[in-house]
Amino acid sequence: MIERPDSPVVGALHPSANFGERKGGAIPSILLLHYTGVESAAKAISWLSDPVSEVSCHYVVDEAGFVTQMVAEAKRAWHAGAGAWAGDTDINSSSIGIEIQNVGHAAGYPPFPDRQIAAVIALCRDIVARHHIRAERVLAHSDVAPSRKIDPGERFPWATLAAAGIGHWVPPAPVRADDTGVGLGTSGPFVAEMQTMLRNYGYAVMPSGHLDTATEFVITAFQRHFRPARVDGRIDQSTFATLQALSAALPAETMIT
């Protein structure tokens, strides 16, 4: 059980029993952001510390920006579930998880308040600095589990975080109303090129050349994070160009070949 906070921005400890050891001596190399999807941070904290839930996270940030730590960073919290990033399929062992209070898409999905985002930025900045987490490994839950998860969603202000030095991001290419792109069921080299770029960036997708359901989920997750103006799972020129620019902005040694 956690006895002292890992970060100076923590306002309270609320220990959860739902954690284990990081497997294979993994150290945190991913910072994974979520929304709670429940009506209040208090309710989220209660659930995340209930042994029945079998879920937890390292930190919860409420709407006012108050930060509660639940699991020590050295331990493996249970927030990611099944997922993958850059070939890693045990995201819980390789990540630190932050739950950001928001009722979520099913209950109106309100904007994230500025003071909450300021607290998220301060917490992320501290975690990234202490663990040397690379910018392109500050991720959404939906990035690592695109077929199951949509949080923290397209209203999460990734651009604001990037302006504060958190995460990897480029300005999205403009969306054109007359370019609806191609969708589910499309095949061809264009689709394979998109899949290859997505895979090289870290998404779990096979370059089959066929825009199947799994690929549609990954494109949707990509759009939620990097091109939120239109989240439709289709490959349009803006989505393609945004991914190209994002990939080009990666340091070469981080590319998976």
Q: Which residues bind Zn ion (CB under 5 A)?
A: 34, 141, 151
Least distance from C-beta 226 to Zn ion, angstroms?
18
Q: Identify the three-state secondary structure at position 40.
A: coil
Please say which residue, 54 or 253, places its beta carbon nearer to Zn ion: 54
Catalytic residue among 3, 21, 99, 136: 99
Pick between residue 70 and residue 197 the one whose CB is nearest to Zn ion. Answer: 70
99 assigned to active site: yes
In the chain, what is the greatest distance between 2 CA atoms, to the nearest angstrom?
57
| CB of 102 or CB of 195, closer to Zn ion | 102
* Contact assessment for residue 68 and residue 97, using Cβ atoms and an 8 Å cutoff: no
- The nearer residue to Zn ion, 115 or 148, going by C-beta atoms, is 148
Write down the least CB distance from residue 32 to Zn ion, Å.
8
Structure-token pair, residue 185: 């069921």
Planar angle of CA 230, 234, 239, nearest 5 degrees = 65
Give the total residue count for the chain.
257
Half-sphere exposure of 11 (CA within 13 A, CB side): 11
Residues tagged active-site? 99
